[in-house]
Amino acid sequence: MRRISKMAERKKITKKTLAKSFHHWYYGHLTCFSQEHMQTFGYLTSMLPIVEELYKDKAEQKEAMQTYTAFFNTEPQLGALVVGITAGLEEARANGDAVDGETINGMRAGLMGPIAGIGDSLVVGTLIPVLLGIALGLSKGGNPIGALFYILVWNVLIYGGMRFAYFKGYELGDKAVEFLVGPQGQAIRKSVSIVGGMVIGAVAATWVPVKTAFQLKDSSGKAFLVMQDQLDGVYPGLLTALFIVFCWWLMAKKNFSPIKVMLILVVVAFVGVLVGFFNPGLKY
């Protein structure tokens, strides 16, 4: 009887509070974002409803919230999984289980990297380029359907995906940690990275065509060598591939920001037009 009574008294987070916590993360994961704290304040905001429901004493609430003042940064969409796991661990701590602040922070720190690796490849490297590719195709001729398609589909997919990740994390609790940081998680990160690279390559080849207007002409003004035709005969899309690799090299190896890379491309295009290597009127 005592055991049954003790189980009945266990604290349980209500679905309403979990939904509130999720929406705080969904809307505020980059709240007060800074280089010092990154997503820390968004995390605090999402955990506030959980802590307020589990602990009625203000001192206990303050002590619990101190756990979430530590630095946190990951891919925010898939990062909802970490917040859900944390909610489950906080519930266990409130019920006196063998979970403390150090355990929770250790879990958060351990999952930041793996979640970022999977999320960046899956969301930024795969989903966004695919949606943008479709939207660009629909936007030809100034059609607004492309923009509306991207806004609608992105928000529907991300909201549904983040909500599923949050509640699945709460359901699995610390069981998800072993899966994400173990061999299976490493295999997932590697496979998603490969797929993401393939998608980026396909989108770049389709929407970033780079061609040259360089020609050699005889004394009569007739072109006897068109460089673009020669390149297409050997390696179609060679200039596009070189430009993409060049941009990747600047950002990945030289740590150039995207803005600096775009400025460099503007200079390259300007000089290329001046020397006749590019033609501003050339239709791609």
Write out pLDDT tens, residues 166-216. 998 888 765 655 555 556 656 655 665 666 666 666 666 666 778 887 777
Q: What is the full DSSP assignment across 69-130? A: GS-B---TTTTHHHHHHHHHHHHHHHTT-S--HHHHHHHHHHHHHHHHHHHIIIIIIIIHHH
**116 in the same domain as 19:** yes
Last residue of a domain, one of 183, 201, 219: 201
pLDDT in tens, 91-127: 888 887 777 778 788 888 878 877 887 788 788 878 8
**178 in the same domain as 270:** no
**166 in the same domain as 86:** yes
Considering the entire predicted model, what is its pTM?
A: 0.65
Q: What is the full DSSP assignment across 29-80? A: TTTT--TTTBTHHHHHHHHHHHHHHH--SHHHHHHHHHGGGS-B---TTTTH
283 located within any domain:
no
Domain that holds residue 77: 2-201
- The confidence score (pLDDT) of residue 185 equals 56
pLDDT in tens, 70-98: 888 888 898 898 889 888 888 888 887 77
Cβ neighbours for 192, distance < 8 A, ≥ 6 positions apart:
118, 121, 122, 125, 126
Question: What's the structural domain count of the chain?
Answer: 2
280 located within any domain:
no
